[in-house]
Amino acid sequence: MRVSVVGAGYVGTSSAAVLAACGHDVTCVEQNDTRLQRWRRGDDPLGEPGLAELLVRSKVNFVPDPRSIALADVVIVAVGTPPDDRGRPDITQVDAAAVEIAEYARDDTLVLVRSTVPVGTCDRLQNGPLRRLRVVSNPEFLREGRALHDAFFPDRIVAGGPPEAQGVFEELYRRIIEGRDLPGGARGERVPVLWMSARSAELAKYAANGFLATKLSFVNEIANLAFTVGADASSVLGSMAFDPRIGPQYLHPGLGWGGSCFPKDTRALEAIADGAGYDFVVLRAAIEQNTRQLTRFAAAIELAVPSRGRVGMLGLAFKAGTADVRASPAIALARRLSSRGLTVTAFDPAVSAIADEPDVQVRPTVVDACDGADAVAIATEWPEFATIDLRALRRVTRGDLLFDGRCLISPSSAVAAGFRYRSLVGFGD
Ligand code: UDX
Protein backbone atom coordinates (compact mmCIF):
# COMPACT_ATOMS: atom_id res chain seq x y z
CA MET A 1 0.00 0.00 0.00
CA ARG A 2 1.06 3.63 -0.44
CA VAL A 3 1.40 5.34 2.93
CA SER A 4 1.94 9.01 3.67
CA VAL A 5 3.10 9.89 7.19
CA VAL A 6 2.56 13.51 8.29
CA GLY A 7 5.21 14.43 10.87
CA ALA A 8 8.74 13.01 10.97
CA GLY A 9 9.05 13.00 14.72
CA TYR A 10 9.46 10.06 17.04
CA VAL A 11 6.14 8.36 16.28
CA GLY A 12 6.06 9.26 12.60
CA THR A 13 9.50 7.97 11.71
CA SER A 14 9.13 4.78 13.79
CA SER A 15 5.79 4.09 12.07
CA ALA A 16 7.23 4.93 8.64
CA ALA A 17 10.26 2.68 9.10
CA VAL A 18 8.23 -0.28 10.31
CA LEU A 19 5.56 -0.03 7.62
CA ALA A 20 8.17 0.37 4.89
CA ALA A 21 10.02 -2.67 6.27
CA CYS A 22 6.71 -4.52 5.93
CA GLY A 23 6.76 -3.82 2.20
CA HIS A 24 4.66 -0.66 1.95
CA ASP A 25 5.62 2.38 -0.14
CA VAL A 26 6.09 5.06 2.53
CA THR A 27 6.61 8.81 2.25
CA CYS A 28 7.17 11.08 5.26
CA VAL A 29 5.95 14.70 5.00
CA GLU A 30 8.03 17.00 7.21
CA GLN A 31 7.75 20.79 7.05
CA ASN A 32 10.77 21.49 9.28
CA ASP A 33 13.61 21.71 6.76
CA THR A 34 16.42 21.06 9.25
CA ARG A 35 14.78 17.86 10.46
CA LEU A 36 13.90 16.92 6.84
CA GLN A 37 17.51 17.28 5.66
CA ARG A 38 18.85 15.27 8.61
CA TRP A 39 16.50 12.38 7.92
CA ARG A 40 17.39 12.52 4.21
CA ARG A 41 21.08 12.15 5.20
CA GLY A 42 20.21 9.21 7.43
CA ASP A 43 21.15 11.34 10.44
CA ASP A 44 18.66 10.59 13.23
CA PRO A 45 17.94 13.71 15.35
CA LEU A 46 16.21 11.49 17.94
CA GLY A 47 19.02 9.02 18.66
CA GLU A 48 16.68 6.03 18.45
CA PRO A 49 18.74 2.82 18.04
CA GLY A 50 18.50 1.37 14.50
CA LEU A 51 15.88 3.84 13.27
CA ALA A 52 17.94 5.88 10.79
CA GLU A 53 19.46 2.73 9.29
CA LEU A 54 16.06 1.09 8.85
CA LEU A 55 14.59 4.23 7.26
CA VAL A 56 17.40 4.26 4.69
CA ARG A 57 17.30 0.49 4.09
CA SER A 58 13.51 0.56 3.67
CA LYS A 59 13.74 3.50 1.28
CA VAL A 60 11.38 5.82 3.16
CA ASN A 61 11.08 9.01 1.14
CA PHE A 62 11.17 12.36 3.00
CA VAL A 63 9.42 15.31 1.35
CA PRO A 64 8.39 18.81 2.46
CA ASP A 65 5.31 18.95 0.28
CA PRO A 66 1.95 17.60 1.48
CA ARG A 67 0.76 17.10 -2.11
CA SER A 68 2.20 13.57 -1.96
CA ILE A 69 -0.82 12.77 0.23
CA ALA A 70 -2.87 12.62 -3.01
CA LEU A 71 -1.13 9.36 -3.93
CA ALA A 72 -1.66 7.65 -0.57
CA ASP A 73 -4.04 4.84 0.31
CA VAL A 74 -3.37 5.52 4.01
CA VAL A 75 -2.36 8.79 5.67
CA ILE A 76 -0.88 8.66 9.19
CA VAL A 77 -1.10 11.76 11.41
CA ALA A 78 1.96 11.70 13.68
CA VAL A 79 2.45 15.35 14.57
CA GLY A 80 3.18 16.70 18.05
CA THR A 81 0.52 17.52 20.65
CA PRO A 82 2.53 19.45 23.29
CA PRO A 83 0.77 20.51 26.51
CA ASP A 84 -0.53 24.05 26.83
CA ASP A 85 -0.06 26.02 30.08
CA ARG A 86 -2.98 24.13 31.68
CA GLY A 87 -1.68 20.69 30.68
CA ARG A 88 -4.20 20.25 27.84
CA PRO A 89 -2.79 18.80 24.60
CA ASP A 90 -2.35 21.53 21.96
CA ILE A 91 -3.76 19.96 18.79
CA THR A 92 -3.00 22.86 16.49
CA GLN A 93 -0.65 20.68 14.45
CA VAL A 94 -3.27 17.92 14.20
CA ASP A 95 -5.86 20.37 12.88
CA ALA A 96 -3.34 21.79 10.40
CA ALA A 97 -2.53 18.27 9.17
CA ALA A 98 -6.27 17.60 8.79
CA VAL A 99 -6.64 20.65 6.55
CA GLU A 100 -3.80 19.44 4.31
CA ILE A 101 -5.23 15.91 4.19
CA ALA A 102 -8.70 17.25 3.36
CA GLU A 103 -7.20 19.25 0.51
CA TYR A 104 -5.13 16.49 -1.13
CA ALA A 105 -6.35 13.04 -0.09
CA ARG A 106 -8.47 10.85 -2.37
CA ASP A 107 -11.99 9.95 -1.19
CA ASP A 108 -11.13 6.35 -0.34
CA THR A 109 -8.12 7.27 1.79
CA LEU A 110 -7.87 5.90 5.33
CA VAL A 111 -6.60 8.40 7.92
CA LEU A 112 -4.88 7.00 11.02
CA VAL A 113 -4.40 9.40 13.94
CA ARG A 114 -1.30 8.14 15.82
CA SER A 115 -0.70 11.40 17.70
CA THR A 116 -1.85 11.29 21.33
CA VAL A 117 -4.99 13.43 21.23
CA PRO A 118 -7.85 14.31 23.62
CA VAL A 119 -10.84 12.01 23.62
CA GLY A 120 -13.27 13.05 20.88
CA THR A 121 -10.66 14.44 18.47
CA CYS A 122 -11.14 11.75 15.82
CA ASP A 123 -14.92 12.09 15.96
CA ARG A 124 -14.55 15.84 15.52
CA LEU A 125 -12.25 15.37 12.50
CA GLN A 126 -14.53 12.67 11.04
CA ASN A 127 -17.58 14.92 11.31
CA GLY A 128 -15.64 18.02 10.24
CA PRO A 129 -12.70 18.56 7.86
CA LEU A 130 -12.26 14.84 7.13
CA ARG A 131 -15.95 13.98 6.71
CA ARG A 132 -15.34 12.62 3.19
CA LEU A 133 -12.67 10.19 4.48
CA ARG A 134 -12.49 7.40 7.07
CA VAL A 135 -10.75 8.44 10.30
CA VAL A 136 -9.31 5.85 12.70
CA SER A 137 -7.66 6.43 16.08
CA ASN A 138 -4.52 4.25 16.23
CA PRO A 139 -2.46 5.20 19.32
CA GLU A 140 1.10 3.97 19.69
CA PHE A 141 2.76 2.43 22.76
CA LEU A 142 6.40 2.92 21.81
CA ARG A 143 9.08 3.35 24.49
CA GLU A 144 12.09 5.54 23.78
CA GLY A 145 15.15 3.40 23.19
CA ARG A 146 12.93 0.43 22.25
CA ALA A 147 10.69 2.03 19.61
CA LEU A 148 11.47 -0.37 16.76
CA HIS A 149 11.07 -3.42 18.98
CA ASP A 150 7.75 -2.13 20.32
CA ALA A 151 6.60 -1.27 16.78
CA PHE A 152 7.52 -4.61 15.19
CA PHE A 153 6.42 -6.71 18.17
CA PRO A 154 3.57 -4.83 19.90
CA ASP A 155 1.67 -6.52 22.73
CA ARG A 156 -1.54 -5.32 21.12
CA ILE A 157 -2.75 -3.08 18.32
CA VAL A 158 -5.42 -0.64 19.47
CA ALA A 159 -7.64 1.05 16.90
CA GLY A 160 -11.03 2.70 16.75
CA GLY A 161 -13.21 4.10 13.99
CA PRO A 162 -15.85 3.18 11.40
CA PRO A 163 -16.26 -0.63 11.15
CA GLU A 164 -15.78 -0.55 7.38
CA ALA A 165 -12.24 0.73 7.92
CA GLN A 166 -11.07 -2.34 9.84
CA GLY A 167 -10.31 -4.44 6.75
CA VAL A 168 -7.95 -1.92 5.17
CA PHE A 169 -6.43 -1.21 8.59
CA GLU A 170 -5.60 -4.87 9.17
CA GLU A 171 -4.22 -5.19 5.63
CA LEU A 172 -1.80 -2.37 6.43
CA TYR A 173 -0.54 -4.14 9.56
CA ARG A 174 -0.85 -7.69 8.15
CA ARG A 175 2.77 -8.74 8.67
CA ILE A 176 2.93 -7.28 12.17
CA ILE A 177 -0.39 -8.87 13.17
CA GLU A 178 0.75 -12.24 11.86
CA GLY A 179 4.25 -11.71 13.24
CA ARG A 180 5.94 -12.96 10.09
CA ASP A 181 8.49 -11.78 7.50
CA LEU A 182 9.74 -9.07 9.85
CA PRO A 183 13.32 -7.74 10.17
CA GLY A 184 14.77 -9.12 13.39
CA GLY A 185 12.85 -12.36 13.19
CA ALA A 186 9.29 -13.53 13.65
CA ARG A 187 7.06 -13.25 16.67
CA GLY A 188 5.46 -16.64 16.29
CA GLU A 189 1.99 -15.71 17.47
CA ARG A 190 -0.64 -13.27 16.23
CA VAL A 191 -0.85 -9.82 17.71
CA PRO A 192 -4.35 -9.07 19.00
CA VAL A 193 -6.12 -6.24 17.15
CA LEU A 194 -8.39 -4.51 19.64
CA TRP A 195 -10.99 -2.70 17.50
CA MET A 196 -13.22 -0.28 19.43
CA SER A 197 -14.73 3.19 19.11
CA ALA A 198 -12.40 6.10 18.31
CA ARG A 199 -13.07 7.63 21.74
CA SER A 200 -12.17 4.37 23.43
CA ALA A 201 -8.92 4.05 21.47
CA GLU A 202 -7.96 7.64 22.32
CA LEU A 203 -8.63 7.05 26.03
CA ALA A 204 -6.83 3.67 25.95
CA LYS A 205 -3.53 5.44 25.28
CA TYR A 206 -3.89 7.79 28.24
CA ALA A 207 -5.14 4.97 30.41
CA ALA A 208 -2.02 2.89 29.75
CA ASN A 209 0.43 5.71 30.47
CA GLY A 210 -1.61 6.95 33.41
CA PHE A 211 -1.64 3.49 34.94
CA LEU A 212 2.10 2.93 34.47
CA ALA A 213 2.85 6.30 36.05
CA THR A 214 0.49 5.56 38.94
CA LYS A 215 2.11 2.16 39.43
CA LEU A 216 5.51 3.85 39.64
CA SER A 217 4.28 6.45 42.10
CA PHE A 218 2.97 3.66 44.33
CA VAL A 219 6.28 1.77 43.95
CA ASN A 220 8.18 4.88 45.00
CA GLU A 221 5.93 5.33 48.04
CA ILE A 222 6.59 1.72 49.11
CA ALA A 223 10.34 2.26 48.65
CA ASN A 224 10.22 5.44 50.75
CA LEU A 225 8.25 3.64 53.48
CA ALA A 226 10.62 0.66 53.39
CA PHE A 227 13.64 2.92 53.93
CA THR A 228 11.76 4.69 56.74
CA VAL A 229 10.73 1.52 58.64
CA GLY A 230 14.04 -0.30 58.11
CA ALA A 231 12.72 -2.81 55.54
CA ASP A 232 14.59 -3.64 52.34
CA ALA A 233 12.82 -1.96 49.40
CA SER A 234 14.19 -4.31 46.74
CA SER A 235 13.05 -7.37 48.71
CA VAL A 236 9.56 -5.96 49.23
CA LEU A 237 9.12 -4.86 45.61
CA GLY A 238 10.84 -7.96 44.29
CA SER A 239 8.25 -10.09 46.06
CA MET A 240 5.47 -8.20 44.26
CA ALA A 241 6.97 -9.11 40.88
CA PHE A 242 5.99 -12.75 41.38
CA ASP A 243 2.30 -11.87 41.47
CA PRO A 244 1.13 -12.10 37.83
CA ARG A 245 -1.53 -9.51 38.62
CA ILE A 246 1.28 -7.03 39.37
CA GLY A 247 4.04 -8.21 37.02
CA PRO A 248 7.81 -7.67 37.23
CA GLN A 249 8.07 -4.45 35.19
CA TYR A 250 7.86 -0.84 36.39
CA LEU A 251 8.76 -1.92 39.92
CA HIS A 252 12.12 -0.13 40.14
CA PRO A 253 11.94 2.86 42.53
CA GLY A 254 13.67 6.14 41.86
CA LEU A 255 13.46 9.88 42.17
CA GLY A 256 10.50 9.94 39.81
CA TRP A 257 9.18 9.36 36.32
CA GLY A 258 9.88 11.82 33.49
CA GLY A 259 10.31 11.94 29.75
CA SER A 260 8.29 13.43 26.92
CA CYS A 261 5.24 11.22 27.58
CA PHE A 262 4.38 10.34 31.18
CA PRO A 263 4.37 13.93 32.51
CA LYS A 264 2.55 15.20 29.41
CA ASP A 265 0.02 12.37 29.20
CA THR A 266 -0.81 12.29 32.92
CA ARG A 267 -1.48 16.05 32.91
CA ALA A 268 -3.51 15.67 29.70
CA LEU A 269 -5.55 12.85 31.24
CA GLU A 270 -6.15 14.98 34.33
CA ALA A 271 -7.25 17.85 32.06
CA ILE A 272 -9.55 15.55 30.09
CA ALA A 273 -11.13 14.38 33.35
CA ASP A 274 -11.46 17.97 34.62
CA GLY A 275 -13.04 18.99 31.32
CA ALA A 276 -15.56 16.19 31.69
CA GLY A 277 -16.29 17.23 35.27
CA TYR A 278 -14.69 14.09 36.67
CA ASP A 279 -12.45 14.24 39.78
CA PHE A 280 -9.65 11.76 38.98
CA VAL A 281 -8.35 11.44 42.56
CA VAL A 282 -5.88 8.57 42.07
CA LEU A 283 -4.18 10.17 39.07
CA ARG A 284 -3.88 13.52 40.83
CA ALA A 285 -2.26 11.80 43.78
CA ALA A 286 0.21 9.98 41.49
CA ILE A 287 1.23 13.26 39.84
CA GLU A 288 1.58 14.98 43.24
CA GLN A 289 3.62 12.06 44.58
CA ASN A 290 5.97 12.24 41.62
CA THR A 291 6.66 15.91 42.30
CA ARG A 292 7.24 15.24 45.98
CA GLN A 293 9.56 12.31 45.18
CA LEU A 294 12.01 14.69 43.55
CA THR A 295 11.73 17.55 46.05
CA ARG A 296 12.16 15.12 48.97
CA PHE A 297 15.36 13.73 47.43
CA ALA A 298 16.67 17.23 46.68
CA ALA A 299 15.90 18.41 50.21
CA ALA A 300 17.89 15.52 51.70
CA ILE A 301 20.89 16.60 49.61
CA GLU A 302 20.51 20.29 50.47
CA LEU A 303 20.33 19.52 54.19
CA ALA A 304 23.48 17.41 54.16
CA VAL A 305 25.78 19.26 51.72
CA PRO A 306 27.66 22.40 52.86
CA SER A 307 26.16 25.65 51.52
CA ARG A 308 27.76 26.67 48.20
CA GLY A 309 28.96 23.07 48.02
CA ARG A 310 29.23 20.90 44.90
CA VAL A 311 27.29 17.78 43.91
CA GLY A 312 28.68 15.25 41.46
CA MET A 313 25.54 14.04 39.63
CA LEU A 314 25.46 10.76 37.72
CA GLY A 315 22.87 10.83 34.95
CA LEU A 316 21.13 13.55 32.93
CA ALA A 317 18.79 11.64 30.58
CA PHE A 318 15.22 11.02 31.74
CA LYS A 319 15.96 7.28 31.75
CA ALA A 320 18.74 4.89 30.83
CA GLY A 321 19.13 3.97 27.15
CA THR A 322 18.38 7.39 25.69
CA ALA A 323 19.99 10.83 25.35
CA ASP A 324 16.61 12.51 25.77
CA VAL A 325 16.62 15.07 28.59
CA ARG A 326 13.05 16.31 28.05
CA ALA A 327 11.27 16.48 31.42
CA SER A 328 14.20 14.61 32.93
CA PRO A 329 14.08 14.25 36.74
CA ALA A 330 17.89 14.57 36.68
CA ILE A 331 17.71 18.00 35.05
CA ALA A 332 14.94 19.05 37.45
CA LEU A 333 17.16 17.95 40.34
CA ALA A 334 20.14 19.93 39.00
CA ARG A 335 17.97 23.03 38.61
CA ARG A 336 16.61 22.67 42.13
CA LEU A 337 20.09 22.17 43.69
CA SER A 338 21.48 25.08 41.68
CA SER A 339 18.63 27.33 42.86
CA ARG A 340 19.73 26.56 46.43
CA GLY A 341 23.27 27.77 45.71
CA LEU A 342 24.89 24.39 45.07
CA THR A 343 27.08 23.68 42.05
CA VAL A 344 26.24 20.59 39.96
CA THR A 345 28.81 18.82 37.79
CA ALA A 346 27.37 15.83 35.94
CA PHE A 347 28.24 12.86 33.76
CA ASP A 348 25.87 10.89 31.52
CA PRO A 349 26.95 8.12 29.10
CA ALA A 350 24.64 9.44 26.37
CA VAL A 351 24.59 13.19 27.03
CA SER A 352 27.87 14.98 26.30
CA ALA A 353 26.44 18.52 26.30
CA ILE A 354 23.18 20.31 27.04
CA ALA A 355 22.30 23.56 25.32
CA ASP A 356 20.91 26.41 27.43
CA GLU A 357 21.21 24.58 30.74
CA PRO A 358 23.25 26.88 33.05
CA ASP A 359 22.39 24.84 36.15
CA VAL A 360 24.57 21.88 35.32
CA GLN A 361 28.16 21.57 34.08
CA VAL A 362 28.60 18.41 31.99
CA ARG A 363 31.83 16.44 32.52
CA PRO A 364 33.30 13.67 30.31
CA THR A 365 33.64 10.97 32.98
CA VAL A 366 32.23 9.85 36.32
CA VAL A 367 35.48 10.79 38.06
CA ASP A 368 35.58 14.24 36.46
CA ALA A 369 32.00 14.89 37.56
CA CYS A 370 32.70 13.78 41.16
CA ASP A 371 36.28 15.02 41.61
CA GLY A 372 36.27 17.24 44.72
CA ALA A 373 32.50 16.99 45.11
CA ASP A 374 30.89 17.20 48.55
CA ALA A 375 28.38 14.52 47.59
CA VAL A 376 27.57 12.11 44.77
CA ALA A 377 23.95 11.84 43.54
CA ILE A 378 22.76 9.10 41.17
CA ALA A 379 19.90 10.51 39.08
CA THR A 380 19.45 8.17 36.07
CA GLU A 381 19.28 4.37 36.18
CA TRP A 382 22.20 3.69 33.82
CA PRO A 383 23.36 0.12 34.55
CA GLU A 384 27.03 1.19 34.55
CA PHE A 385 26.37 3.30 37.63
CA ALA A 386 25.58 0.12 39.56
CA THR A 387 29.10 -1.23 38.96
CA ILE A 388 31.21 1.87 39.63
CA ASP A 389 34.41 1.30 41.61
CA LEU A 390 33.13 3.05 44.71
CA ARG A 391 36.47 2.93 46.52
CA ALA A 392 38.16 4.72 43.63
CA LEU A 393 35.30 7.20 43.52
CA ARG A 394 35.61 7.90 47.25
CA ARG A 395 39.29 8.72 46.79
CA VAL A 396 38.40 11.67 44.51
CA THR A 397 35.37 13.10 46.32
CA ARG A 398 35.80 15.64 49.07
CA GLY A 399 32.67 14.60 50.96
CA ASP A 400 31.54 11.07 51.87
CA LEU A 401 27.85 11.29 51.01
CA LEU A 402 26.31 9.08 48.31
CA PHE A 403 22.66 9.85 47.44
CA ASP A 404 21.26 6.94 45.47
CA GLY A 405 18.27 8.37 43.58
CA ARG A 406 17.77 5.22 41.53
CA CYS A 407 18.35 2.50 44.17
CA LEU A 408 21.24 1.06 42.16
CA ILE A 409 23.85 0.74 44.93
CA SER A 410 23.65 -1.59 47.93
CA PRO A 411 24.03 0.45 51.14
CA SER A 412 26.61 -2.03 52.46
CA SER A 413 28.89 -1.67 49.41
CA ALA A 414 28.66 2.13 49.68
CA VAL A 415 29.59 2.04 53.38
CA ALA A 416 32.43 -0.44 52.72
CA ALA A 417 33.86 2.02 50.18
CA GLY A 418 33.84 4.81 52.75
CA PHE A 419 30.58 6.55 51.81
CA ARG A 420 27.63 7.44 53.98
CA TYR A 421 24.70 6.02 51.97
CA ARG A 422 21.52 8.03 51.56
CA SER A 423 18.44 6.56 49.86
CA LEU A 424 15.41 8.27 48.29
CA VAL A 425 14.26 9.74 51.56
CA GLY A 426 17.68 10.65 52.89
CA PHE A 427 17.88 7.76 55.32
CA GLY A 428 21.03 5.67 55.48
CA ASP A 429 23.38 3.88 57.82
C1 UDX B 1 6.33 5.69 27.87
C2 UDX B 1 5.46 4.44 27.76
O3 UDX B 1 6.15 3.33 28.35
C4 UDX B 1 5.17 4.13 26.29
O5 UDX B 1 4.33 2.99 26.19
C6 UDX B 1 4.49 5.34 25.66
O7 UDX B 1 4.21 5.11 24.29
C8 UDX B 1 5.38 6.56 25.80
O9 UDX B 1 5.69 6.80 27.18
P10 UDX B 1 8.88 6.35 27.60
O11 UDX B 1 8.43 7.77 27.72
O12 UDX B 1 9.94 5.99 26.63
O13 UDX B 1 7.57 5.41 27.26
O14 UDX B 1 9.38 5.98 29.06
P15 UDX B 1 9.38 4.63 29.96
O16 UDX B 1 10.42 3.70 29.48
O17 UDX B 1 7.99 4.13 30.10
O18 UDX B 1 9.85 5.25 31.37
C19 UDX B 1 9.09 6.37 31.86
C20 UDX B 1 9.73 6.87 33.15
O21 UDX B 1 9.55 5.89 34.18
C22 UDX B 1 11.24 7.12 33.04
O23 UDX B 1 11.56 8.34 33.70
C24 UDX B 1 11.85 5.93 33.80
O25 UDX B 1 13.09 6.28 34.44
C26 UDX B 1 10.79 5.65 34.83
N27 UDX B 1 10.79 4.27 35.32
C28 UDX B 1 10.47 3.26 34.47
C29 UDX B 1 11.08 4.03 36.67
O30 UDX B 1 11.38 4.95 37.44
N31 UDX B 1 11.06 2.74 37.12
C32 UDX B 1 10.75 1.69 36.30
O33 UDX B 1 10.75 0.56 36.78
C34 UDX B 1 10.46 1.96 34.93
In short, whether 113's Cβ falls inside 6 Å of ligand 1 is no
Q: What is the pLDDT of residues 58-90, one digit of tens each?
A: 999 999 999 999 999 999 999 999 998 888 999
Percent of the chain with pLDDT over 70: 98
Which atom of ligand 1 is nearest the CA belonging to 145? 12
Nearest CA to ligand 1 atom 6: 141
Distance CA 70, CA 50 (A): 30
Q: Verify that 355 and 266 share a domain, yes or no.
A: yes
Ligand 1: centre distance to CA 387 (Å):
23
Q: Please count the helices (runs of H) and the strands (runs of E) in the chain.
A: 16, 14
Nearest CA to ligand 1 atom 15: 143
Confidence of residue 180 (pLDDT cuts 50, 70, 90): confident
Residue where a domain terminates, one of 150, 178, 196: 196
99-148, pLDDT tens digit by residue? 999 999 999 999 999 999 999 999 999 999 999 999 999 999 999 999 99
Contacts of 92-97 with CB under 8 Å at 24 or more apart are: 93/7, 94/121, 94/125, 95/129, 97/6, 97/7
Please state, in angstroms and rounded to a whole number, the distance separating the CA atoms of residues 277 and 263: 21
Residue 250 near ligand 1, beta carbon < 6 Å: yes
Number of domains in the chain: 2
State the distance from the centre of ligand 1 to the C-alpha of 424, rounded, in angstroms.
19
How many whole angstroms from 142 Cα to the centroid of ligand 1? 10
Q: Are residues 147 and 285 in the same domain?
A: no
Looking at ligand 1, which atom is closest to the CA of residue 208?
5
Q: Are residues 134 and 217 in the same domain?
A: no
Out of 319, 331, 381, mutate this one to test ligand 1's pocket (max ligand atoms within 8 Å of CB): namely 319
Sign of the torsion angle spanned by Cα atoms 122, 193, 147, 14: negative
Ligand 1, atom 5, lies closest to the CA of: 141
For ligand 1, atom 3, the nearest C-alpha belongs to 143
Sorted by sequence, the CB contacts under 8 Å of residue 283 that are 6+ apart come out as 210, 214, 266, 269, 270, 273
Reported as a single tens digit per residue, the pLDDT across 4-38 is 999 999 899 999 999 999 999 999 999 999 999 99
Shared domain for 252 and 376, answered yes or no, is yes
C-alpha dist (Å) from residue 365 to 88, 312, 313, 417:
39, 11, 11, 19
pLDDT of 222-252, one tens digit each? 999 999 999 999 999 999 999 999 999 999 9
69 and 217 belong to one structural domain:
no
Ligand 1 atom closest to Cα of 140? Answer: 7
* pLDDT computed for residue 404 by the predictor: 97
CA of 212 to the centre of ligand 1 (A): 8
Residues 380 and 311 in one domain: yes
Question: Which of 138, 156, 261, 289 for a ligand 1 pocket mutation test, highest count of atoms within 8 Å of Cβ?
Answer: 261
Residue 428 pLDDT level (bands cut at 50, 70, 90)? low
Residues 122 and 271 grouped into a single domain: no
pLDDT band at 324 (very low <50, low <70, confident <90, very high): very high
- Contact assessment for residue 379 and residue 345, using Cβ atoms and an 8 Å cutoff: no
Amino acid, single-letter form, for residue 115: S
Give the whole-angstrom CA distance, residue 298 versus residue 99.
Answer: 47
State which of 196, 212, 232 marks the end of a domain: 196
Nearest CA to ligand 1 atom 17: 143
The residue whose CA has the least distance to atom 25 of ligand 1 is 319
Residues 126, 182 within the same domain: yes
User: pTM of the full predicted structure?
Assistant: 0.96
CATH number at residue 325: 3.40.50.720
Q: Using only C-alpha atoms, what is the Rg of the chain? A: 23
Residue ending a domain, choose from 196, 226, 250: 196
**Residue 261 annotated in active site:** yes
**Cα 143 to ligand 1 centre (Å):** 7
Neighbours of 184 (CB within 10 A): 12
Question: Are residues 217 and 172 located together in one domain of the fold?
Answer: no
